[in-house]
Structure 1
Amino acid sequence: MLTCPDGHPSTATDYCDVCGVALSSGAAATPPAAAPVPCPACGVPISGRFCEVCGHDSALPTPGRAPEPSAGVPDPTAVLPESVAPTVEFGKIEPNIAAGQSVWVATVGADHALYERMLARKGPDAERVEFPGFYPERRIPLQGNDFLIGKRSVSQGVLPDIDLGIAPVDIGVSRSHARIHVDRDVLTVTDLGSTNGTSLNGVDDLIPPGTPVPLRSGDRIHVGGWTTITVTFEPV
């Protein structure tokens, strides 16, 4: 088991289980900062794995350099004619929902009021959490039933549907922090025993771990030091 630079024990070898800080391989010391390199997707200088502007994961293949498809197998990256290619815009609901239906949408943003409340009550990571200077909102249509809120860890097999491990990272968010469950027009959130807990709608009282709590359209889920997820039920 490794120990992160802030003294947290961690079973993961890439990022601390508790605070999310990066770990060097086989050691507890913080690895030296890498020199900035251009983002393969947008060209903006980056010093970490994720681009703070477009969110591109530098561990993935460079855009536009996908492997050649095998003979007889359709290329999923091929550009379709305008007559059949769907129009998909960032921040828009995916166009595979029938018109006239409604869908739950989770909007992830940085909440300065939550950050100030966390500092006032001196939360577990109050001295280490920093409010980001730039954090574009992300809209995530909840198409399915269960959605994990947390931070990605390949070594632990944690692959959140709402991944809060994209830079800039809220270190107060746990790997597996909470879960949203959708049952038609009924929505609930359950805290999964996270380190800093989960609260709702500007109230500091934490919801009990392991207990599903019903949500209504417009409710706000607070996790970590400054992350708020607003859920809305919207017509397509």
Structure 2
Amino acid sequence: MLTCPDGHLSAATDYCDVCGAALSSGAAPVPPAAAPLPCPACGAPISARFCEVCGHDSALPAPGRAAEPVAGRADLTAVLPESVAPTVEFGKSEQDSAAGESVWVATVAADHDLYQRMLARKGPDAERVEFPGFYPERRIPLRGNDFLVGKRSVSQGVLPDIDLGIAPVDIGVSRSHARIHVDRDVLTVTDLGSTNGTSINGVDDLIPPGTPVPLHSGDRIHVGGWTTITVTLEPV
């Protein structure tokens, strides 16, 4: 093939196939493309800077140990030299840590048995408390250390982490009823001097106000007229 004055490649020798310009008899033929060189890392033929097989940068010094050429697509980690093999590592300690992580979860539910016990002992709000017809469970991950249990009051500046003021409201729950404290896998609950008190695991005896009481996964915290909070330690 010849090159016309405008740089087009032409198979014809008299006029350019592209623009029609006259070709001189002295037009120089286009030199054939150079043969691809072998990759210094894996030996595969390359026509650019980076090898399409192993990714080696030909601008870098040749690696000390070359790998065998690869035919077709293969597992590169099995054929690349150590100097250019890709490294994808996940620290074992990080994996083990992630696998072993857990978080406390508070599940809030309406407890009819608690409601009946409250009526039987004639609690302070027994005449006014009504059991809800529908109350969907709420799961609240306890990510942190201290969690206030109560009912939200913007005017009083009370913003509970576990807000029991969401309708339908248990009127037996105080604004600042109790506090849950988390220290890794240890969890405690403290009654904050609430009107109706706080009990645990179906026992009617109230826990003493201001005293942290340790809990275990699966324990139930009873507050108000019918609200039970079950705490569980669950894997992440």
Task: State the TM bucket, normalised to the shorter chain.
Answer: 0.5 to 0.7
What does residue 186 of structure 2 align with? 186
Aligned length: 140
What does residue 159 of structure 2 align with? 159
Task: In structure 1, list runs of 5 or more residues that go unmatched.
Answer: 1-96
CA distance in 1, matches of 2:149, 2:98: 26
What does residue 198 of structure 1 align with? 198
Whichever residue aligns with residue 204 of structure 1, its letter is D
CA distance in 2, matches of 1:227, 1:99: 33
SS at match of 1:119: helix
CA distance in 2, matches of 1:174, 1:99: 39
Give aligned-pair identity as a percent: 93
More helix by share: 2
Whichever residue aligns with residue 157 of structure 1, its letter is G
Residue deviations 1:139-162 (CA, integer Å, cap 9, x gap):
000000000000000001000000
What does residue 173 of structure 2 align with? 173
Superposition TM-score, scaled by structure 2 size: 0.58
Whichever residue aligns with residue 152 of structure 2, its letter is R
What does residue 108 of structure 2 align with? 108
Shift of 1:189: 0.1
CA distance in 2, matches of 1:98, 1:144: 17
What does residue 215 of structure 1 align with? 215
What does residue 233 of structure 2 align with? 233
Residue deviations 1:182-210 (CA, integer Å, cap 9, x gap):
00000000000000000000000000000
CA RMSD of aligned residues (A): 1.1
Matches within 5 A, 1:62-77: none
What does residue 136 of structure 1 align with? 136
Shift of 1:106: 0.2
CA distance in 2, matches of 1:158, 1:185: 27
Task: In structure 2, list runs of 5 or more residues that go unmatched.
Answer: 1-96
Shift of 1:232: 0.2
Shift of 1:98: 4.6
CA distance in 2, matches of 1:187, 1:157: 26
Structure with higher RCO (Cα < 8 A, 6+ apart): 1
Rg bigger for which structure?
2
Shift of 1:100: 3.7
